[in-house]
Amino acid sequence: MLSKHSDAIAPGGHTISAEGIHPNVHFICRCLREQGYEALLVGGAVRDLLLGRQPKDYDLATSAPPEAVRRLFRNARLIGRRFRLVLLRYPNMSVEVSTFRGEPLDKQNGMIHRDNRYGTWREDAPRRDFTINALAFDPLAQVLHDPVGGLKDLQRGRIRTIKPPRESFTEDPVRMLRAVRFKVRLGFEIDPQCEAAIADKLHLLNDVKRHRLAEEIQRFLTCGQAVPAYREFDRLGLLRPLLGIEAHRWFVSARALRDPLAVMQPFLAEMDRWTAAGGEPIAPTVAQLGLLTSLALERYQRYLLGADLQDQPAKLGRSKKQMPRILAEWGMLNGQIAPALAIVDAARVLVRAGGKPLRDPGAADALPGIREALLLLAILRNVRGHSLEFVEKALHNLHRLPDLPILDHPRPANRPPRRRPLARPRRHRPWPRGEPVPTPPGGRADSRVARHGKRSTGRNTDGK
């Protein structure tokens, strides 16, 4: 068993209490253990419990393959592209269950592209990014496992990679962004060797899929500490490759090319203020549109923020034709280009009409994306000094506005889910009463016709 290894810490040697873990986690571990599998609580949940914080999510690692976990739980769903995971959904939470990983076989220039090779916990722990995330806890035996010295780094407040930093960042360049996230969120310091390796591996972010970078950008925008996070990005040189400024210079303003952090500062401060206020959650598509607007050329800002149609209509017309190309080439919307265009059009209508559609329920229902457009205008109030008085008044009635059905939008709790209408039953016309069912020559009546009483198809049954 795992508890026999030298890295196992007995219940009296750590500060994690079994009562602080959600009952669903205990239930999942117990079900897997009854089937003969190992199950451990891993990742950020163990780190937060050791720091005395309440975990925001729970991750489990097990020796069971994903298909076995899916058969064991009815609320299971397979997710993941590079590595298959099982998502267990509950009313107020979800738990990710991953299988122990082995050393990957598919590497190209040191970067991992496929990761579906299973192993044991001893092989899985060194595969993780940082030592503070390689801690594991057994909720049933209340034993803490520390195979790479993560507890000592956690006590010192240090972020250190398990493998040599250059090798670790080459395997997954997103780990450079995650190091900044943990520094800002936990108040730790990045190991000097890791900072030196980040300066050498900046160019690898250009090879990362844009949807993975979009997920990281969204986490930083909505963490409540976007301003210090992007300052750290700028200090380490990660800001330009993260935003793709060099590759998309043709729609980024000259000021943003010189100093992107100064241009983004009002938008980031508004995102932090919005998150601290605890208001309506900002959908990822809306946050990405706000980020793009803060970086775009002035003519695109004028278009996105609802400039008057009488003000240089030729340039505005060209902007409208180029907007789908801009959103597609930027690649940060994860396929949500059509909903993003609807949000932009709704924002333009709101600004030109002075918020009049918000006072008319019929006009609000007929304008797709009006709810997201109002949120977009709310977080862009300080970008170009717009005075939009109707935004403050309309935010109080935000829950009454219809939402745009996009994939990443958090649906309001007071609105029932949309259901597809039931299919209408197909009615068969019965054979007229009193008339015999036609029988083929020299044979018995067709069982289907005799059973349902349908009319004859008119087919010649005697072959003529």
Query: Is the Cβ–Cβ distance between 85 and 100 less than 8 Å?
Result: no
Question: Helix axis angle, 313-330 relative to 337-352, nearest 10°?
Answer: 150
Q: 59 an active-site residue?
A: yes
Q: What is the pLDDT of residues 394-432, one digit of tens each?
A: 888 787 888 776 545 444 445 555 555 545 555 555 555
pLDDT of residue 411: 46
Residue 183 in tokens: 């520094």
Query: Is the pLDDT at 314 greater than 80, yes or no?
Result: no
Task: Quote the radius of gyration of the chain (alpha carbons, Å).
Answer: 29
Mean of pLDDT over the chain: 80
Question: Helix axis angle, 337-352 relative to 370-379, nearest 10°?
Answer: 70
Taking the C-alpha atoms of residue 266 and residue 77, their distance in angstroms, rounded to an integer, is 40
Question: Based on the number of CB atoms within 10 Å of its own CB, is 402 exposed (0-12), middle (13-18) or buried (19 or more)?
Answer: middle
Q: Which of these, 397, 285, 391, lies nearest to 333 by C-alpha position?
A: 285
Q: What is the pLDDT of residues 197-226, one digit of tens each?
A: 999 999 899 888 888 898 899 899 988 999
Question: Which amino acid would we find at residue 122?
Answer: R
Q: Using DSSP, state whether 108 is helix, strand or coil.
A: strand
**Which element (helix H / strand E) includes 111?**
strand 111-114
pLDDT of residue 307: 56
Question: Helix axis angle, 370-379 relative to 284-295, nearest 10°?
Answer: 50
Query: Is the Cβ–Cβ distance between 269 and 383 less than 8 Å?
Result: no
Top-confidence residue, 30 or 331: 30
Q: Which residues pair with 89 in a beta bridge?
A: 94
Query: Is the Cβ–Cβ distance between 247 and 257 less than 8 Å?
Result: no
Taking the C-alpha atoms of residue 392 and residue 155, their distance in angstroms, rounded to an integer, is 45
Q: Which of these, 217, 141, 143, 145, lies nearest to 181 by C-alpha position?
A: 217
Query: Is the pLDDT at 18 greater than 50, yes or no?
Result: yes
Residue 87 in tokens: 């998502």
Q: Which of these, 208, 286, 220, 299, lies nearest to 254 by C-alpha position?
A: 299
Q: Which of 7, 59, 138, 272 is catalytic?
A: 59
Query: Is the Cβ–Cβ distance between 373 and 350 less than 8 Å?
Result: yes
Buried b (16+ CB within 10 A) or exposed e, 29-60: beebbeeebbbbbbbbbbbbbbeeeebeebbb
Question: Which amino acid would we find at residue 224?
Answer: G
Q: Read off the pLDDT of each residue in 347-373 and give the average, rounded to a whole number.
A: 85
pLDDT of residue 300: 78
Question: Which amino acid would we find at residue 110?
Answer: G
Long-range contacts of 325-330 (CB under 8 A, 24+ apart): 326/251, 326/292, 326/296, 326/300, 327/292, 329/248, 330/244, 330/248, 330/292
Query: In the structure, what pLDDT confidence band is assigned to residue 463 with cuts at 50, 70 and 90?
Result: very low
> DSSP readout, 168-179?
HHHH-THHHHHH
Residue 137 in tokens: 């806890």
Q: Which domains does the chain have, with CATH numbers?
A: 1-149 (3.30.460.10), 268-411 (no CATH)
β 111-114/136-138 pair status: unpaired
Q: Which of 57, 106, 200, 365 is catalytic?
A: 57
Question: Based on the number of CB atoms within 10 Å of its own CB, is 440 exposed (0-12), middle (13-18) or buried (19 or more)?
Answer: middle
Query: Is the pLDDT at 87 greater than 90, yes or no?
Result: yes
- Tell whether the torsion through CA atoms of 139, 140, 143 and 146 is positive or negative: negative
Q: Which of 115, 124, 129, 191 is catalytic?
A: 129
The tally of CA atoms less than 13 A away on the side-chain side of residue 436 is 5
Q: Work out the number of other CB atoms within 10 angstroms of the CB of residue 228.
A: 16
pLDDT of residue 233: 95
Query: Is the pLDDT at 77 greater than 50, yes or no?
Result: yes
Structure letter (DSSP) for residue 205? G
| For the chain, percent of residues with pLDDT exceeding 90 | 34
Q: Read off the pLDDT of each residue in 9-29 and give the average, rounded to a whole number.
A: 87
Tokens 């199950």, residue? 39
Residue 238 in tokens: 């990660």
Helix residue spans in 305-359 (DSSP H): 313-330, 337-352, 356-359
Q: Which of these, 154, 202, 148, lies nearest to 175 by C-alpha position?
A: 202
